[in-house]
Amino acid sequence: MPAPSFSKSSTDRLTLPQVITVDGPSASGKGTLSRRLAKEFGYIYIDSGAMYRTLAWWALRQGISLEPPLPAAAEAEVVGLLRRWKAEMRLVDGQGWLHVEGYFPATEIRENAVEHAVPVIAQISKVRDWMVARQRDCVRLGPLVMEGRDIGTVVFPLAPVKFFLEADEEERQKRIEGRGGNTSAARRDHMDSTRKKGALIPALDSIRVNNTGQTPDETFAILRDHVRSRLGL
């Protein structure tokens, strides 16, 4: 699929995608802050991680075991799902969500079984290729705030504003447990940062914000001011 992420204008000047990217590890505040940014500036919110979660949920529902290390046969089954499932991005209240056969599993993709499976399928190269193509295609919906782990480095490397959120591992683990999760921040960080494609690393031109000890309001004010300064909004 061609990626409509940027183009050349008639004056041969590069036209950047209308995207604000927000990357970072688990429980760094990406979701809360990205939603607020989208609402503040009238952009569409896209949770790229939810797209991977939706595939993980669908794969588990089809009876595919997603325990690491993933054998070649299971990987092939997951890739096969991408050719068969009826998935499309739909807008719901200004947010883009991947629906499968017309259904968005909003509750199911937050279950612990899916949480554990997501970093496993995210290691699959062909899965990442499929996801990146669909994420880039989201610019057709309008201006975006997209959160994830490789949005500023792989999906929209020419985005005019890129954030990379960070927080101490101990604090992020407390946040995960505080919302009822039982995954390990350290384990997820390792899997995300060492995968061969789409590894979790900050873009060289990203604005890095460590929100350890900050309230969401304090971090949001920092991001909002950067967006206003960069985009003149």
Tens digit of pLDDT for each residue in 50-95?
999 999 999 999 999 999 999 999 999 999 999 999 999 999 999 9
> Tokens standing for 85?
């499932």
Flag whether pLDDT at 9 surpasses 70: no
Helix (H) or strand (E) holding 90: strand 87-92
Q: How confident is the model at residue 49 (pLDDT cuts 50, 70, 90)?
A: very high
Residue 100 phi/psi, 5-degree rounding, is -115, 120
The C-alpha atoms of residue 151 and residue 134 are separated, in whole angstroms, by 12
Considering the entire predicted model, what is its pTM? Answer: 0.91
Flag whether pLDDT at 178 surpasses 50: yes
pLDDT in tens, 25-46: 999 999 999 999 999 999 999 9
Give residues with Cβ within 8 angstroms of 138, minimum separation 6.
44, 46, 89, 96, 144, 146
Q: Are the beta carbons of 102 and 95 closer than 8 angstroms?
A: no
Q: Helix or strand or coil: residue 39?
A: helix
β-bridge pairing 14-15 and 7-8: antiparallel
Flag whether pLDDT at 11 surpasses 50: no
Predicted local distance difference test score (pLDDT) of residue 183: 87
Predicted local distance difference test score (pLDDT) of residue 2: 39
Mean pLDDT value across residues 97-118: 96
What kind of fold does domain 16-231 have according to CATH?
Answer: Rossmann fold (3.40.50)
Predicted local distance difference test score (pLDDT) of residue 4: 42
